[in-house]
Homo-oligomer: A and B are copies of this chain.
Amino acid sequence: MKVRNILGERFKERAYDIESQNLMTRGGYMKQVGNGIYSLFTPAKRIQNKIERILREEMDRIDGQEVLFPVVMPATLWQSSGRFESIGRELLRFKDRSGADMVLGMTHEEAAVQLANNVAGTYQKYPFMIYQIQTKFRDEPRARGGLIRVREFTMKDAYSFHTSQEDLEAYYERAYRAYERIYARCGLPEVIAVKSDSGMMGGKVSHEFMLLTSIGEDSVVFCPECGFRANMEACEAIIENEADGELLPLTEVFTGEAKTIDEVGEMLKMPNEKSCKAVVYQKNEDDSYVLVFIRGDLEINETKLTNFLKSEIHPAADIENANLAAGNIGPVRLETKATVLFDRSLVSATNLVCGANKAEYHLTGFTPSRDLPADTVYADFAKAVEGGVCPSCKKHSLNIKRGIEVGNIFQLGKRYTEAMGMTYDTESGERKNPIMGCYGIGVGRLMASVCEEHHDDYGPIWPITIAPWQVQICALRIDDESVKAAAEKLYSELKNAGVEVLFDDRPVSAGVMFSDADLLGAPLRVVISPKTLSRGCFEFSARDKSFREDIEAASACETVANKVNELIAQVNSKVPESI
């Protein structure tokens, strides 16, 4: 293809803070149509097609069968699993012309069970896995970062069905490995798997595949000592308290206008970890209050709180109706209708400051083990902290980094097959619900993540396996007959050799041509100009600046094609064996 023919314009001005969004906008890869909704120009669509091909190959390799589920589904299907009611407004609901309730698919567990139901009624048909690559819509309240977090996206989603937990686990391992292969083949061997929270999907064991980057929306907790890794949302927090020698008596102190932990701590000259703070939420379903007490220096992990409550929550809008003394809430002599919970960080804490449930007063000398009822339940609601205790090796070794989630896999169990009444007959004639796993990768987010990881200030540096074009020919001074002839010859030779080549034969300056080539991101480049021809050669270089050399014109096609194969082999050398 010729650069002059690609629809889309490239420009220099910085467009956005997030680099993939900035470079892919400046490079003419995409255009916004609405909030979180994009059209893709040809360079991005070519990358997407290549990623989709890798996805198909890897899904087929683990015995997947490609199917297609609908984007628009009747609400009855989602009612059969209970998710029509339980999922929030990110599930887009509407009525069709006949007044029937419909939804836009944001995930397809229900559709997968509907398809497999009644056609897998005996144990001999198991295990099997079906997958699709299809458009999804999720009505995100906070679309951001270009293709990183959108409302409409193309996704590969896969669903496996098993007759035993062991069989699911064995298949889960194969899928896990397939995912490692997919990222490596896309030029992202850096992606790591972390334990994750299963959220609205149901099921227990799940992993997220994360690309660590400062623009990531997720926090990933690591232990460099033992290799433990988890999404912050799913990470157990182990909090230690230093025991004070002497337990002080509970004492009411006047704190006036001091309300926050910081204000009270400063007034009383006590560090935050020697306080007990109250955090107030409301349940989404009925706005009832939930009051969590936690050590003053820690933060609430809302995912763990949600899972504990089995109910979605939001920070309390106001607590006027809660009969609570805002800024002075404490666990002693507390009278409230709220659900009251205690974080484990308080179990061994002593001599804390807490609210006195009375305007302008706090208590000092609060020691939960002494001052709360003996049957008080403490649970894990705290966020893990940098330098905290590793839940696996128990060392004070935790690191926290930001990451983008580029895929996830879940052991779903029987959540959907039970709810939707899908069964099979076992060998002994029993009727059982199959056990499911599900496996998702967003194609556009993966593309943007590759750009995040592989770019410089001038543009993306696409890995050869997903680059829109493998090689770009820049013909400087196309008005020079010898340049034109040499460039057109190489263009045609490379096309015949099966190399994906982009040809820039526009009568533009070297500056414009090179900056456009940088934005288009082909990993290899051949420059042909009067100057190179005067040396009897072409200039051959890598987009990542790893080499730049003169090559002979006569053998240029072969040299370039060999380098393409070398780069492909280089990517593939990082791809683990499949299982």
Chain A residues at the B interface, C-beta cutoff of 8 Å: 4-9, 28, 31, 33-35, 37-42, 44-46, 48-49, 63, 65-74, 76-77, 89-90, 92, 94-98, 100, 102, 104, 111, 114-116, 118-120, 124-125, 128, 130, 132, 134-135, 137, 139, 141, 151-152, 154
Contacts and interface: CB of A to CB of B under 8 A. Distances in A.
A111 B38 CA distance: 10
Contact of A67 (B7, B66, B102): B7
Contact of A70 (B28, B41, B152): B152
B67 A39 contact: yes
7 contacts: A5-B65, A34-B70, A39-B70, A39-B114, A92-B94, A94-B94, A97-B139
A71 to B, nearest CB: 5
Nearest to A140: B97
Given A37-B70, A37-B74, A70-B152, 14 more contacts: A9-B118, A33-B74, A33-B77, A34-B70, A34-B73, A34-B77, A39-B115, A41-B67, A45-B132, A48-B68, A72-B92, A72-B104, A96-B151, A134-B135
Nearest to A46: B66
A120 B7 contact: yes
B104 A141 contact: no
Contacts of A128: 5, 7
Contacts of A4: 124
A359 to B, nearest CB: 39
User: Which residue, A6, A39, A48, A94, has most C-beta atoms of chain B within 10 A?
Assistant: A39
A4 B124 CA distance: 9
A277 to B, nearest CB: 32
A31 B139 contact: no
A503 to B, nearest CB: 14
A49 B66 contact: yes
A111 B46 CA distance: 19
Contacts of A65: 5-7, 41-42
A115 B8 CA distance: 8
Contact of A71 (B5, B71, B102): B71
A543 B111 CA distance: 33
A190 to B, nearest CB: 27
A152 B105 CA distance: 13
A116 B7 contact: yes
Contact of A151 (B46, B68, B72): B72
A94 B100 CA distance: 13
Nearest to A139: B97
Nearest to A63: B5
A462 B204 CA distance: 44
Contacts of A31: 114-115
A135 to B, nearest CB: 5
B66 A8 contact: no
A35 B104 CA distance: 15
A111 B116 CA distance: 36
A67 B42 contact: yes
A556 to B, nearest CB: 25
Q: 7 tightest A-B contacts by CB? A: A94-B94, A34-B74, A40-B68, A42-B65, A89-B97, A9-B119, A39-B115
A45 B67 contact: yes
Contacts of A118: 9
B33 A152 contact: no
B68 A111 contact: no
Nearest to A506: B124
Contacts of A77: 33-34
B94 A39 contact: no
A309 B8 CA distance: 40
A126 to B, nearest CB: 10
Contacts of A9: 118-119
Given A46-B66, A70-B37, A72-B152, A28 B134 contact: no
A63 to B, nearest CB: 7
A46 B44 CA distance: 24
Given A71-B152, A104-B72, A135-B135, A66 B92 contact: no
Nearest to A124: B4
A199 to B, nearest CB: 19
A120 B8 CA distance: 8
A292 to B, nearest CB: 28
A28 B125 CA distance: 15
Contacts of A154: 68
A106 B48 CA distance: 23
A111 B33 contact: yes
Contacts of A97: 89-90, 92, 139, 141
A100 B34 CA distance: 10
A565 B98 CA distance: 49
A46 B104 CA distance: 24
A103 to B, nearest CB: 10
A138 to B, nearest CB: 10
A37 to B, nearest CB: 5
A69 B33 CA distance: 9
Contacts of A120: 7
B119 A7 contact: yes
Contacts of A102: 34
Contacts of A141: 97
A8 B125 CA distance: 10
